[in-house]
Structure 1
Amino acid sequence: MSDAPGGESLLFLTDEQLRQGIEAMFFAYRGFTADPDRILAGMAYGRAHHRAIHFINRAPGTTVNNLLVLLGVTKQSLNRVLRTLVEDGLVESKVGKTDKRERHLYLTEAGEALERKLSDAQRARMRSAYRAAGPQAVAGFRQVLEAMMDGDLRRKYQALRDSGT
């Protein structure tokens, strides 16, 4: 059995080591969201808008119901976010061809430009962190993140990842 950096055994972590990991996640998340938050604040948008834009970009034509499942928010909450994005010309909602009750969501050119700006900021931060940590740490980090996901969320994540879009 080999010790991980810092003497942390992969088979046993103390409560203190786990607390440090939890705090690192909190602070890393703050860093990860800081750049997009600054961009969105000037537009009176928040993280819910960012998440919607991100996943509409990942799966153009996704339905409102699918977005509800991915984001894990209430229909009322998502409707508020989508209404704003549609009114501001960032998202287009089209009636389904086979099921007229469905609404398919697409980013407009302006929505794509905003998504690129937000993602570029986060990619730059991730790229820098990944380069500093190295390929083995990147693979380990992904394994830890996936292991923290509930089974249903991991399946959704894998499906999105496997879609290649």
Structure 2
Amino acid sequence: MVEGASVPGGESLLFLTDEQLRKAIEAMFFAYRGFTSDPDRILENYAYGRAHHRAIHFIHRSPGTTVNNLLHILGVTKQSLNRVLRTLIADGLVESRVGERDKRERHLFLTDEGEKLEAELSEAQRTRMRAAFRAAGPDSVAGFKQVLEAMMDPEQRRQYKSLMEKST
């Protein structure tokens, strides 16, 4: 939808009231809760949290990514990422390999067991997203993507676009 275009009901997107924005924020909270609820149930079986899920997701997305790159993508502290990675490595879901060119680098890969867990987590989220997108329709899907990208900080948007380019 074009910036400033009217939505059903005649409300202009450029002039949303604080109340309309509050409702959108609350919808985002509830949608996020729904989006994470399916993987959360799966992660409970492993005593893992969302940080483990995010690490698994991005290691799967970029096999061989470095710890430093994962730190950059996730925007977490080295200490918190190391805690998550230690658990995933000890449980046999992630493998850490020393870099061939730079021995100080550690490259991360999912093991077969890690790939199985990633597939289960992703399928749960794809199922929910697919149903929501079908219910909303193609115009809404395109608008949703635009809103999400507009909410990203410039550096996050750059990382996101770089990741999207790798998948095409």
With normalisation by structure 1, the TM-score equals 0.98
Q: Is 1:136 aligned with 2:144?
A: no
Instruction: Quote the residue 1:159 is aligned against.
Output: 162
Distance in 1 (alpha carbons) for counterparts of 2:97 and 2:5: 56
Q: How does 1:2-151 map to 2 (within 5 A)?
A: 2-151=5-154
Deviation at 1:12, TM superposition (A): 1.0
What secondary structure sits across from 1:98 in the alignment?
Answer: coil
Distance in 1 (alpha carbons) for counterparts of 2:62 and 2:8: 39
Runs of 4+ in 1 over 4 A off after TM superposition: none
Distance in 1 (alpha carbons) for counterparts of 2:9 and 2:132: 19
Residues 97-116 of structure 1 show CA distances to partners (whole Å, capped at 9, x for unaligned) of 00000000000000000000
Distance in 1 (alpha carbons) for counterparts of 2:153 and 2:164: 16
What secondary structure sits across from 1:5 in the alignment?
Answer: coil
Aligned residues: 165
Deviation at 1:9, TM superposition (A): 1.0
With normalisation by structure 2, the TM-score equals 0.96
Distance in 2 (alpha carbons) for counterparts of 1:98 and 1:42: 38
Distance in 1 (alpha carbons) for counterparts of 2:58 and 2:5: 40
Distance in 1 (alpha carbons) for counterparts of 2:5 and 2:107: 51
Letter in structure 1 aligned against 2:118: E
Distance in 1 (alpha carbons) for counterparts of 2:22 and 2:13: 15
What secondary structure sits across from 1:54 in the alignment?
Answer: helix
Distance in 2 (alpha carbons) for counterparts of 1:149 and 1:50: 20
Distance in 2 (alpha carbons) for counterparts of 1:44 and 1:3: 46
Distance in 1 (alpha carbons) for counterparts of 2:112 and 2:152: 33
Distance in 2 (alpha carbons) for counterparts of 1:41 and 1:128: 24
Could you say if the C-alpha distance between residues 99 and 2 of structure 1 is closer, same or farther in structure 2, counting changes exceeding 3 Å?
Answer: closer
Deviation at 1:2, TM superposition (A): 4.9
Letter in structure 2 aligned against 1:50: H
* Identity within the alignment, %: 75
